[in-house]
Structure formats: structure tokens, C-alpha cells
């Protein structure tokens, strides 16, 4: 029996093996993402990120070291807020997790920040984009990447913002200023 077949057999029959497998993958890929986003952010030093996130620099170092920290969803959400990016946590088939591991590259990993996310800021463009990108619809050039398009509030964007405010029980003004 091949080593791969033995591993698959253990995953099929043993809950602890499945836990260890998933934890090991997350223990490598999540720290790598944190580091990649930090290095491409306005806070490239661990100390700067720590200050903005209300953490110690040593904690940031641990979060970026594979297997060194048990990262909570609250910590990930805090980092996402500082980086101005979203966070997606979802259950997936093992094949998707394996594909994620095999295709992930810290060097090419990049996340569009909220203030540059035209598809979020102007969802009406994303809805009509079809095969054309939102950047094409906006007529974006490399020089316009630093100057995102102005947000045009539509009924859809306004309702989404208010639904979010109601769901989180946070005053809308404070959500829009943070």
C-alpha cells in the first residue's frame, strides 16, 4: 500500500487524523497569508501592524510563524479590519483544501483593499460587467489604482450598508468612519 493510500485510509477512518490534517494545513497557509498581506500593506513592519491591531510585535511574529500560534477568528477579524480586507472561513472538500495548498504562493498572494475594491464600492458595475472586468468598465489605468473611483450610492449599496449596520448593532456612522 502506498504512503498516499495509507494517509487517505487514516483520513477516512480516524477523526483525529482529519483534525491534524486540517490543522496542519491551516497552520501553514494562514500565517503565510498574514505575512503576505502585511508586506503588501501600508504597515510592512510587524511593529506597525502590532500597534494598529492593539497587539504586541511578538504576537504578530507568532501569528506569522507556521504552527506557532493558535489563531482565533477574533484575531483574524481584527487583522482583516486593520488590513482593510475581508475574511472568508468556509468548510470545503479535502480536494479543494489540497488545491489551495498546492497553488498558494505567498509571493503572488494579493488582496484588494476595501478602498480599492471597485466591485464592492460600486456593485452596479460588477452586476453589468459580464466578461469585462470592473477595472475596464471604470477605464482604470495603472495610475488610477491609487485613486479609486468615487462611490456612487445606489439603492442597492445603501440597503446593503443599512442591513450590515442593523445586523452588527453598531451605529452606522462609526462603521463608515472606521
Q: What is the CA radius of gyration of the chain?
A: 20
Locate the DSSP E strands across 11-62.
none
98 and 30 share one domain: yes
8 and 95 share one domain: yes
143 and 99 share one domain: no
Give the pLDDT confidence score for residue 124 in this predicted structure: 81
pLDDT tens over the chain, length 178 residues: 899 999 999 999 999 999 999 999 999 999 999 999 999 999 999 999 999 999 999 999 999 999 998 899 999 999 999 999 999 999 999 999 999 999 999 999 999 999 999 888 988 876 666 545 545 555 554 444 455 444 444 444 444 544 544 555 544 444 444 4
Number of compact structural domains in the chain: 2
Q: What interhelical angle do 73-83 and 46-53 show, nearest 10?
A: 110
- What CA–CA distances, in Å, run from 107 to 2, 33, 68, 104, 176? 33, 10, 21, 9, 32
Give the pLDDT confidence score for residue 153 in this predicted structure: 45
| Residue 11: CATH number of its domain | 1.10.260.40
Between CA 123 and CA 99 the distance in angstroms is: 29
67 and 12 share one domain: yes
104 and 119 share one domain: no
13 and 88 share one domain: yes
**Which of the listed residues 90, 109, 128 is the one where a domain comes to its end?**
109
**Which of the listed residues 80, 109, 138 is the one where a domain comes to its end?**
109
40 and 73 share one domain: yes
99 and 124 share one domain: no
58 and 138 share one domain: no
User: How many CB atoms sit inside 10 A of residue 76's CB?
Assistant: 16
* Domain housing 79: 3-109
* Angle, vertex CA 174, rays to CA 168 and CA 178, nearest 5: 100
119 and 103 share one domain: no
Amino acid at each position: 500500500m502506498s504512503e498516499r493510500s495509507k494517509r487517505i485510509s487514516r483520513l477516512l477512518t480516524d477523526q483525529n487524523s482529519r483534525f491534524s490534517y486540517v490543522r496542519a494545513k491551516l497552520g501553514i497557509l494562514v500565517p503565510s497569508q498574514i505575512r503576505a498581506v502585511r508586506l503588501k500593506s501600508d504597515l510592512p513592519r510587524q511593529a506597525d501592524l502590532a500597534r494598529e491591531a492593539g497587539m504586541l510585535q511578538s504576537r504578530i511574529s507568532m501569528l506569522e510563524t507556521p504552527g506557532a500560534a493558535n489563531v482565533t477568528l477574533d484575531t483574524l477579524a481584527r487583522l482583516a479590519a486593520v488590513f482593510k480586507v475581508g475574511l472568508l472561513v468556509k468548510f470545503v472538500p479535502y480536494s479543494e483544501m489540497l488545491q489551495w495548498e498546492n497553488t498558494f504562493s505567498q509571493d503572488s498572494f494579493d488582496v484588494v483593499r476595501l478602498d480599492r475594491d471597485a466591485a464592492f464600492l460600486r456593485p452596479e458595475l460588477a452586476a453589468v460587467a459580464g466578461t469585462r472586468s470592473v477595472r475596464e468598465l471604470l477605464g482604470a489605468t495603472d495610475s488610477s489604482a491609487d485613486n479609486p473611483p468615487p462611490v456612487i450610492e445606489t439603492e442597492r449599496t445603501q440597503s446593503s450598508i443599512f442591513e450590515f449596520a442593523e445586523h452588527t448593532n453598531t451605529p452606522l456612522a462609526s462603521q463608515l468612519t472606521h
